[in-house]
Amino acid sequence: MKKNLVILSGAGMSAESGISTFRDAGGLWDKYPVMQVASAEGYVRDPELVINFYNERRKQLLDVEPNAGHTGLAELEKDFNVTVVTQNVDNLHERAGSTHVIHLHGELTKVCSSRDPYNPRYVRELKPEEYEVKMGDKAGDGSQLRPFIVWFGEAVPEIETAIGYVEKADIFVIIGTSMNVYPAAGLLNYVPRTAEVYLIDPKPVDIHSMRRIHVIQKGASEGVKELQSLLFTPL
């Protein structure tokens, strides 16, 4: 029987593909005040600025490709029941071939209702030629289309789904996340005591956990390559 392998990925997963991380020096938070472009209040204050910010993020997806880390995780589906729980809003896991991806913070390629953001009736996937959302573009309920992104201060609707998979994990892998953003950072608390835990990150990450963690201090591509060999070698 295949083991359950759950991956928690963050911005460092996509950094090698050329997608700006938010928290690192020179990242997006240095260029934009976070609450201006990633909060409901910022959206109410200046919806056009926020919509254009995500239009630019969306168009960036046309110029980037999944990296070897993404494809390496997709390859693990041959031998494991793989669930990717990602804090990233890009579609690089899917494009690399991962078939079960839970997006905690929303999806850049989708838009939704401003009035009722999580109503599935009004969530839709944009084709690349539709990536430029404009003021006046309406959702099915007549409200302005907004990015399908979970902003600061909003509930994270997929967290309970993610917890359900984490609780059944035989192996839990953390890749490229600072473990500072909740509720995602709290998922480690739901990992069974019997599960193996791996952390892939080129920089030291303070995890605040007493449990044994196998650290691979490398970027996503090299780290996933090492993970692949370790998973088939008894620790």
- 174-191: per-residue pLDDT in tens? 999 877 777 878 899 999
Does 124 belong to an annotated binding site?
no
Whether residue 83 is predicted with pLDDT greater than 90 in this model: the reply is yes
Does 200 belong to an annotated binding site?
no
- Our answer to whether residue 93 is catalytic in this structure is no
Residue 31 — pLDDT band, cuts 50, 70, 90?
low
Domains of the chain, with CATH numbers? Answer: 1-19+66-105+156-234 (3.40.50.1220), 20-63+110-149 (3.30.1600.10)
Name the strand (E) or helix (H) holding 83: strand 80-86
- Top pLDDT among 219 and 28 is at 219
Does 143 belong to an annotated binding site?
no
- Top pLDDT among 198 and 57 is at 198
Does 170 belong to an annotated binding site?
no
Nearest to 88 by CA among 22, 139, 141, 34: 22
Which tokens go with 217?
Answer: 């201090």
Write the pLDDT tens digit of every residue in 107-160.
Answer: 999 999 999 998 999 999 999 999 999 999 999 999 999 999 999 888 899 999
Q: Single out the catalytic residue among 70, 103, 105, 208.
A: 105
The pLDDT value given to residue 153? 85
Write the pLDDT tens digit of every residue in 210-235.
Answer: 788 999 999 999 999 999 999 987 65
Does 221 belong to an annotated binding site?
no
Does 22 belong to an annotated binding site?
yes
Interatomic CA distance for residues 103 and 8, integer angstroms: 10
Q: From the CB of residue 200, how many other CB atoms can be counted at a distance below 10 Å?
A: 28
Does 57 belong to an annotated binding site?
yes
Average pLDDT along the chain: 90
The pLDDT value given to residue 18? 85
Q: Which of 87-91, 95-99, 205-209, 230-234 has the lowest mean pLDDT?
A: 205-209
Across the range 61-79, mean pLDDT stands at: 95
Query: Which long-range contacts (C-beta less than 8 Å, at least 24 apart) are formed by 113-118?
Result: 113/139, 113/140, 113/141, 113/143, 113/145, 113/146, 114/43, 114/47, 114/139, 114/143, 114/144, 114/145, 114/146, 115/139, 115/141, 115/143, 116/141, 116/143, 117/146, 117/148, 117/154, 118/157
Whether residue 24 is predicted with pLDDT greater than 50 in this model: the reply is no
Across the range 155-178, mean pLDDT stands at: 95
Across the range 201-211, mean pLDDT stands at: 81
pTM metric for this prediction: 0.91
